[in-house]
Structure 1
Amino acid sequence: MKLDILVFGSHPDDAELGAGATIAKEIANGKKVGIVDLTLGELGTRGSAEIRAKEATDSANILGLSVRENLEFADGFFVNDKEHQLGVIRMLRKYRPETVLCNAIDDRHVDHGRGSKLVSDACYLSGLVKIDTKFDGDDKWQEPWRPKNVYHYIQWKNLQPDFVVDVTGYIEKKTEAILAYSSQFHDPRSKEPETPITSRNFLDSVKYRARDLGRLVGVEYAEGFTVERLVAVDRLGALK
């Protein structure tokens, strides 16, 4: 299956929190979108790997993803080395996306910046013809593939975006997808320990950040992204 957009997240729920409304909008516009989670999020204070896997499936169904996979790297301890790069490369060559979205380049959680660089490096290496890969259970060598675009969504830190996507009309779908992770976010009935993301304020901040970015560009809601290289347009009218 060839995808238009492949979204990577260090943990289940990263993609939804950072780019959930953009994902929902692209799918509504006919794009094939998939998510690859790097880890199971097994070190999370609340829930478990098994619970989060089920929640990730529920969220995928809400968004209408074409596919969701998990590389099962070690939460908190994966590194940007050859072994992990090859794991990401196999996914890139399997789905051959035109665009990749991945973690914030700098963030509170150590896995986010590390996951960002890992995926970014793999996107380049995936285009090199002398790197040989096979997908598990497949005897055929994969063809090289390099995405045209690599964009980084914004997470905990208020990074300055290089561009924003108008997601007016899709913020509720994003919220629904986030709330599929009921073990992780605000629930006054939960007896599990509180974390920085379990407060009502954090959940509200997802929407008010989108509203504020929207305010800056004259729309109701927007999601921000940073880029690694200059973004080209074919005419000035393409810029809003």
Structure 2
Amino acid sequence: MAQERDVTAPSRVLVFAAHPDDIDFGASATIAGWTAAGASVSYCILTDGDAGGFSDEDRPGVAGLRREEQRDAARIVGVSDVTFLGEPDGHLEPTDAVIREIVRRMREVRPDIVVSMHPERSWDRIQKSHPDHLACGEAVTRAVYPAVENPFAYPELEAAGLARYRVPWLWFYGGPAHLENRFVDVSGREDLKIAAITAHRSQHPDVGRMQARVRAILAENARRGNLPEGRSAESFHVVGINTDETIAGF
């Protein structure tokens, strides 16, 4: 089916996250598969990440350090386009100003797939639902519909040559397990994911435990997705925004 090809073989992908390292935990193995297949993938990190980390020695320049860690992690999975909005870590809100900048990036990139953190809280593992994560998901959702496709939402963007754009697909990561409806087989790319997460050196007081836990989650995702024994998967809640099954305004 045409829609299935659109989902599995994108040409352009734009990925949003609240903090440096969120993407790598949630979707980096899938992204590595997309870039290996020739897709152009861009990251947009909404906060400066300055509330993260565990060492007092990192505090003076932690925001800059975390940007460099994210760029290093992105390169591991084939991504070179990384932008940062610089909102304060721990205080992200889906404000008009934040949504405008998200719309700007969507109109610049014009992606086949937008990937974002989920706006709904997950009670099975509350760590997935940091308030900034939820705010990221809400802001991206508001931008995807209707703002990015409405030329009257931010007319200054239209006037600057950033024309409205209809996003075909929205993929959420880090959301409630019962909403996940797509399990991407990432077998063979586990080491790339682990390397990308580990690149965020300031965030891991126990690297070995983190790596083991990530591998266990990938295996559990594969089990939930009914993949064969021994496989690994990343999980998503995929929503069609503008597909053959949708109509304008409804």
Under a length normalisation based on structure 1, what TM-score does the superposition of the two structures give?
0.82
Name stretches of at least 5 consecutive residues in structure 1 with no aligned partner: 188-197, 235-240
Tell me which of 42, 67, 70 is aligned to 1:56. Answer: 70
Q: Does 1:130 align with 2:144?
A: no
Structure 1 segment 86-125 matched on structure 2, within 5 A: 86-105=100-119, 106=121, 107-124=128-145, 125=147
Tell me which of 188, 213, 219 is aligned to 1:211. Answer: 219
Q: Secondary structure at the match of 1:6?
A: strand
Q: Which amino acid in the other structure matches residue 151 of structure 1?
A: W
Partner residue in 2 for 1:176: 195
Partner residue in 1 for 2:167: 147
Q: Which amino acid in the other structure matches residue 13 of structure 2?
A: I
Alignment check: 8 A CA contact 1:88 1:119 kept? yes
Partner residue in 1 for 2:52: 44
Q: Which structure is higher in helix share?
A: 2
Q: Secondary structure at the match of 2:31?
A: helix
Alpha-carbon displacement from aligned partner over 1:193-239 (angstroms, at most 9, x marks no partner): xxxxx7x44432221111122234224111100134599799xxxxx
2 CA distance for matches of 1:166 and 1:231?
Answer: 25
Alignment check: 8 A CA contact 2:115 2:171 kept? yes
Tell me which of 76, 82, 85 is aligned to 1:68. Answer: 82
Measured at CA, do residues 230 and 68 of structure 1 come closer, stay the same or move farther in structure 2, by a change above 3 Å?
A: closer
Measured at CA, do residues 37 and 30 of structure 1 come closer, stay the same or move farther in structure 2, by a change above 3 Å?
A: same
Shift of 1:118: 0.6
Measured at CA, do residues 19 and 95 of structure 1 come closer, stay the same or move farther in structure 2, by a change above 3 Å?
A: same
Alignment check: 8 A CA contact 1:32 1:66 kept? no
2 CA distance for matches of 1:158 and 1:202?
Answer: 20
Partner residue in 2 for 1:195: none
The percentage of counterpart residues that share the same residue type is: 28
Aligned length: 218
Alpha-carbon displacement from aligned partner over 1:173-201 (angstroms, at most 9, x marks no partner): 111111110110144xxxxxxxxxx7x44
Alignment check: 8 A CA contact 1:86 1:133 kept? no
Q: Does 1:222 align with 2:236?
A: no
Partner residue in 2 for 1:194: none
Measured at CA, do residues 70 and 61 of structure 1 come closer, stay the same or move farther in structure 2, by a change above 3 Å?
A: same
Partner residue in 2 for 1:164: 183
Alignment check: 8 A CA contact 1:5 1:33 kept? yes
Superposed CA RMSD in Å reads: 2.6
Measured at CA, do residues 170 and 231 of structure 1 come closer, stay the same or move farther in structure 2, by a change above 3 Å?
A: farther
Shift of 1:42: 0.9
Q: Secondary structure at the match of 2:237?
A: strand
Measured at CA, do residues 142 and 116 of structure 1 come closer, stay the same or move farther in structure 2, by a change above 3 Å?
A: same
2 CA distance for matches of 1:232 and 1:167?
Answer: 25
Name stretches of at least 5 consecutive residues in structure 2 with no aligned partner: 1-9, 122-127, 246-250
